[in-house]
A = this chain, B = another copy of it.
């Protein structure tokens, strides 16, 4: 029997993340810092698995993609050219009475302060880029910004890629990295934070061929959602209406996800025309046009941008993986991660902690599996039931127990499946082959 997991789902997930070591509030012992989050051991492993999977699918296994890792602090001229200095802002209102600050477009009643019912001041545009000063002086000339998106680091390297590797259009660049936005009201756990991680592609195409590329990337993104185990009934494509499109975009699809706090943007896929290369060419004075050998035409490449938030991915994956199973005595909570993204693949237990022969054999099995899969844990703490519960809550697909039959009858180990709770006896070699098979799927 399954209870209604959706009741207070966000609270449950935030609590589990902290309790089990997935995500902590940033600078926690100092009372935190609003809008920042620290990933603990299981959150860091989950992040690594998702990043590696993304890089494999979006870069390594393709022939037309080039990865980069650009600096977070860029020359401010790049953000002037891209329009971020003048236009990357949110509407800010301040309460005249209590001084609290709000994003005007997030207020239900735009006349009264939601905290003290005081009068709200006039709306001001607040630039969301974090400023900093580079070099040993603090005069205006040295002011720059932390990148508000990873995209900029790719556009400024378009020419470097062309000059060094000479790829033919269509080709793309990819980057995984941090971006920073000074949100007026960070909220919803890691969904809207001030420091976040993006996985972005800028794909350069011939102007007349943008529709084909757009459709191809749309399919890749849907496949990606499956690959990480999202329930496809929770992912919705929203064709952004023409009137709502950014000024440079001719078509955008938002991939929305049913988060516990509502249907919200998970990913975006935008056709950005030649806006970016044209702006950076104008801003830098560097020619960013492309000569197409095949058609003998010169043009500024157009851009298709699949943009994925890593933190939003992790939250979506956690929401979909979260399960509650009502038993006679208690509720079993487990995270049904796809094995390939699970932070720990296998946990190895000796049936009893105080029987040396069991512990010795379990250590031997553990070492073999650890060498093979890396993400393997040894656990001899508490009774087996408690150890199962602990592994369930971090989403470990397989728990392996070494018992008396293992050592006395050479009868293999028992392997317990996280989702079904079923136990099967098999040899360690059979287990390795079973796990390899499941990780490949």
The smallest C-beta distance from A53 to any residue of chain B, in angstroms, reads: 12
Given contact pairs A134-B182, A182-B134, A283-B30, A41 touches B161 in the complex (Cβ within 8 A):
yes
Within 8 A of B (CB), among A359-380: 370-371, 374-375, 378
Is A243 an interface residue when CB atoms closer than 8 A count as contact?
no
Residue A56 at the chain B interface, CB threshold 8 Å: yes
A44 contacts which of B19, B27, B52, B69 (Cβ < 8 Å)? B69
Tally of chain A residues near chain B (CB < 8 A):
81
Q: Which of A74-82, A251-259, A334-342 contacts B (4 or more CB under 8 A)?
A: A74-82
The answer to whether B20 touches A194, judged by C-beta atoms less than 8 angstroms apart, is no
A378 surroundings in chain B (CB, below 8 A): 63
List of B residues within 8 angstroms of A130 by Cβ: 73, 132-134
Establish whether residues A75 and B33, one from each chain, have CB atoms under 8 Å apart when the complex forms: yes
Interface residue? A37 (CB, 8 A)? yes
Cβ contact within 8 Å between B135 and A34: yes
Contact string against B for A residues 43-69, beta-carbon threshold 8 Å, 1 for contact and 0 otherwise: 111011000100110001101001111
A321 contacts the other chain (CB 8 A) = no
How far does the Cβ of A136 sit from chain B's closest Cβ, in whole Å? 5
Q: In the bound complex, do residue B28 and residue A156 qualify as a contact, i.e. CB atoms below 8 Å apart?
A: yes
**Which of B73, B161, B195 meets A33, CB within 8 Å?**
B73
- Indicate whether A72 reaches chain B with its CB closer than 8 angstroms: yes
A135 → chain B, closest Cβ, in Å? 7
Closest to A158 in B: B29
- For the complex of A and B, 9 pairs with smallest distance between CB atoms: A27-B75, A21-B164, A60-B374, A36-B71, A39-B69, A38-B70, A30-B75, A41-B66, A29-B284
